[in-house]
């Protein structure tokens, strides 16, 4: 017998053994398949949602140079980005965004476990728990050289979608914030300095405006403006001083004469009307001094004012005479005449003193202005230089702020182009686990392997002689003949076994169909 015939004979022998022991193959196969499929319906479904981020290499190189340049740094950047997305800072931001750390049930559990972690606060315990859970749910994988996929697996499809979408947005926001941090720092500094120097510019401009208004008021005010005015005012000052001395002497002389005429004392000739006229008389003295700065006694303004002073003086004389006649018991007309002269002389003393003081003040102001003139000019120039300096610095920071805003917009546009969500997360419609097709294939393989193993074990433990060759080999005697097996009872038993197997198989199929239909109805 050839080797090929021997191998065929051996193969037929194996097939015969399998046919003889087929019940040991079918029952484990059906049992394992049924167990695996039934167990799959008790497994919690796992849903997966993913989003893809585009990360473009920011280097702008010619194509020829780009082929020569190594992309190791960019690949390192991608690897660092993968680690960064699952880092504690990103996950903490994700937790804060979703407000999961405010879950009352989770915080209550953290309160119960607080005794086991005395060095941690409740917030830190909750944060650690959530970060551990999120790291188990989140995975990242690269697709190509510039695509990064965030994969989230969760028992709840809506939660898987929310996690994937929020984590992608957090990653984009954090990357943009990091890209723009330098520009924003410069912009914030420029804005702070801009506000400071804007206030300083406004203050210096206000100070310059007030100083100029003060100078204008001094220029427009009535006062000594040149040497000609100064000579005239000095002359009028001397005249006013002489008139004042003469009025004081007149008061002294008239007082003595009246005391001789009326040893009992002088009567009071003051009332409200006279007091009012005296106040007007004194004001006219100051007004006369102001007019004499720019005009002479021949000018109309001074003539009109002098006439007004004379009329007011005559009114006071008449009022004093009337009071004197009404209040005195003497019939001497000289007494009332002297009393009028005395009261008017007293009034003239105040009149000339006011005039003299006003003229002296104008002269002093002029002399002060001569001294302060150069100083005022220096002050004006200093304030103008201060305004120019503040305006220059303000304009510099204004230009810098505008440039920083433009730079931020350009960086933002470039960053958004280099790092953006390429494929947004979608709501998963069906779970990825359990995969019943894969489980069925695995169950079939395991059941077949278990059945073949049982057949091999039973056949190995069976020491009976089943073939003519085995009899001749072990006994060393030739076989003269064989008697066919005729066991009708055994055939009936085999038929029952087959019927039982088919019934079990049918029941298994029915159970699987019912479970599958029920699962589809629940999913719908």
Pair 512, 41: CB distance under 8 Å: no
What was the pLDDT predicted at 255?
A: 80
Name the token pair of 141: 């994988």
Tell me the backbone φ, ψ of residue 509, rounded to 5 degrees. Answer: -65, -45
Mean per-residue pLDDT of the chain: 76
Which is higher by pLDDT, 454 or 237?
A: 454
What phi and psi, each to the nearest 5 degrees, are found at residue 51? -140, 145
> How confident is the model over 317-334, as pLDDT tens digits?
888 778 777 776 655 677
| Size of the chain in residues | 524
pLDDT in tens, 221-245: 444 445 556 677 777 778 878 888 8
Q: What percent of the chain has pLDDT over 70?
A: 73
Mean pLDDT to the nearest integer, 176-198: 74
> 3-state class of 86 per DSSP?
coil
**In the predicted model, is pLDDT for residue 6 greater than 50?**
no
**CB-CB contact of 30 with 511 (8 Å):** no
CB contact at 8 A, 57 and 73: no
Q: Residue 314 is encoded by which pair of tokens?
A: 């005559």
The pLDDT confidence band at residue 69, using thresholds 50, 70 and 90, is very low
Report CA-CA distances (Å) from 104 to 101, 108, 110, 122, 503.
8, 6, 10, 11, 54
Return the minimum-mean-pLDDT range out of 72-86, 95-109, 341-355.
Answer: 72-86
459 against 109, higher pLDDT: 109
Residue 216, exposed/middle/buried by CB under 10 A (0-12, 13-18, 19+)?
exposed
- pLDDT-based confidence at residue 44 (cuts at 50, 70, 90): confident
Task: Give me the residues paired with residue 421 across strands.
Answer: 53
Are 266 and 326 spatial neighbours (Cβ–Cβ below 8 Å)? no
What is the C-alpha to C-alpha distance for residues 100 and 159, in angstroms, rounded to an integer? 12
More confident residue, 282 or 69: 282
- pTM confidence score: 0.47
The per-residue b/e assignment along 442-476, b for 16 or more CB within 10 angstroms, e otherwise, is ebeebbeebbbebbeeeeeeeeeeeeeeeeeeeee
Mean pLDDT (whole number) for 58-76? 52
Contacts within 8 Å (CB) and 24+ apart, 295-302? 296/232
Residue 123's contacts (CB-CB under 8 Å, 6 or more residues apart) are 101
pLDDT reported for residue 217: 56
Residues 502, 504, 509, 514, Cα dihedral to 10°? 140
pLDDT at 248 over 70: yes
Provide the pLDDT for residue 8: 46
Q: How high is the pLDDT of residue 372?
A: 54
Angstrom CA distances, 519 to 40, 396, 513, 514, 516, stand at 11, 72, 10, 9, 5
Number of Cβ atoms within 10 Å of the Cβ of 160:
24
3-state secondary structure of 400: helix
Report the candidate in 197, 203, 386, 351 with the shortest Cα–Cα distance to residue 277.
351
pLDDT band of residue 172 (cuts 50, 70, 90) is confident
Top-confidence residue, 40 or 94 = 94
The 10s digit of each residue's pLDDT in 283-316 is 887 787 777 777 777 888 878 888 888 888 888 8
Q: Which residues contact 506 (CB under 8 A, 6 or more apart)?
A: none
φ and ψ of 373, to 5 deg: -55, -55
More confident residue, 452 or 406: 452
pLDDT, tens digit, 9 for 90 and up, residues 94-131: 888 888 888 888 888 888 888 888 888 888 888 888 88
Question: What burial class does residue 19 get, using C-beta atoms within 10 Å of its C-beta: 0-12 exposed, 13-18 middle, 19+ buried?
Answer: exposed
Judge contact between 390 and 200, C-beta under 8 A. Answer: yes
The yes-or-no verdict on residue 249 having pLDDT over 80 is yes
More confident call, 265 vs 246: 246
User: Rounded to an integer, what distance in angstroms lies between the CA atom of residue 127 and that of residue 121?
Assistant: 10
Instruction: Write out the two tokens for 499.
Output: 């019927």
């Amino acid at each position: 017998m050839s080797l090929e015939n021997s191998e065929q004979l051996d193969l037929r022998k194996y097939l015969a053994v399998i046919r003889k022991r087929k019940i040991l193959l079918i029952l484990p196969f059906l049992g394992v398949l049924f167990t695996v499929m039934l167990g799959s319906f008790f497994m919690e479904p796992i849903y997966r949602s993913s989003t893809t981020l585009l990360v473009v290499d920011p280097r702008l190189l010619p194509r020829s140079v780009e082929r020569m340049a190594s992309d190791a740094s960019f690949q390192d950047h991608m690897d660092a980005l993968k680690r960064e997305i699952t880092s504690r800072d990103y996950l903490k931001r994700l937790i804060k965004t979703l407000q999961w750390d405010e879950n009352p049930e989770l915080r209550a559990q953290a309160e119960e476990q607080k005794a086991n972690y005395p060095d941690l606060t409740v917030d830190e315990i909750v944060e650690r728990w959530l970060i551990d859970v999120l790291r188990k749910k989140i995975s990242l994988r690269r697709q190509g050289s510039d695509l990064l996929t965030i994969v989230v697996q969760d028992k709840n499809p809506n939660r898987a979608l929310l996690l994937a979408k929020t984590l992608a947005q957090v990653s984009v926001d954090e990357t943009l914030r990091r890209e723009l941090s330098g520009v924003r720092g410069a912009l914030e500094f420029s804005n702070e300095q801009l506000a400071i120097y804007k206030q300083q510019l406004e203050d210096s401009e206000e100070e310059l405006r007030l100083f100029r208004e003060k100078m204008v008021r001094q220029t427009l005010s009535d006062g000594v403006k040149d040497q000609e005015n100064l000579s005239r005012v000095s002359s009028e000052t001397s005249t006013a001083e002489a008139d004042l001395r003469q009025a004081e002497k007149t008061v002294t002389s008239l007082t003595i004469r009246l005391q001789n005429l009326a040893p009992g004392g002088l009567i009071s000739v003051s009332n409200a009307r006279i007091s009012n006229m005296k106040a007007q008389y004194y004001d006219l003295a100051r007004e006369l001094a102001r007019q004499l700065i720019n005009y002479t006694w021949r000018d109309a303004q001074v003539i009109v004012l002098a006439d007004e002073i004379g009329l007011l003086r005559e009114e006071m004389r008449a009022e004093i005479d009337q009071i004197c006649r009404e209040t005195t018991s003497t019939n001497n007309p000289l007494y009332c005449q002297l009393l009028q002269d005395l009261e008017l002389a007293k009034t003239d003393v105040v009149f000339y003193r006011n005039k003299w003081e006003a003229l002296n003040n104008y002269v002093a102001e002029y002399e002060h202005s001569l001294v302060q003139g150069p100083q005022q000019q220096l002050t004006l120039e200093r304030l103008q230089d201060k305004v120019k300096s503040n305006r220059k610095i303000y304009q510099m920071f204004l230009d810098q702020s505008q440039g920083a805003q433009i730079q931020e917009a350009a960086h933002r546009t470039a960053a958004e182009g280099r790092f953006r969500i390429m494929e947004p997360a979608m709501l998963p419609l069906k779970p990825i686990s359990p995969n019943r097709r894969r489980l069925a294939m695995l169950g079939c393989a395991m059941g077949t392997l278990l059945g073949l193993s049982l057949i091999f074990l039973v056949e190995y433990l069976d020491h009976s002689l089943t073939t003519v060759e085995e009899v001749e080999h072990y006994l060393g005697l030739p076989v003269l003949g064989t008697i066919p097996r005729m066991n009708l009872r055994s055939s009936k038993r085999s038929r029952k076994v087959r019927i039982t197997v088919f019934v079990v198989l049918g029941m298994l199929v029915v159970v699987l169909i019912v479970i599958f239909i029920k699962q589809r109805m629940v999913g719908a």
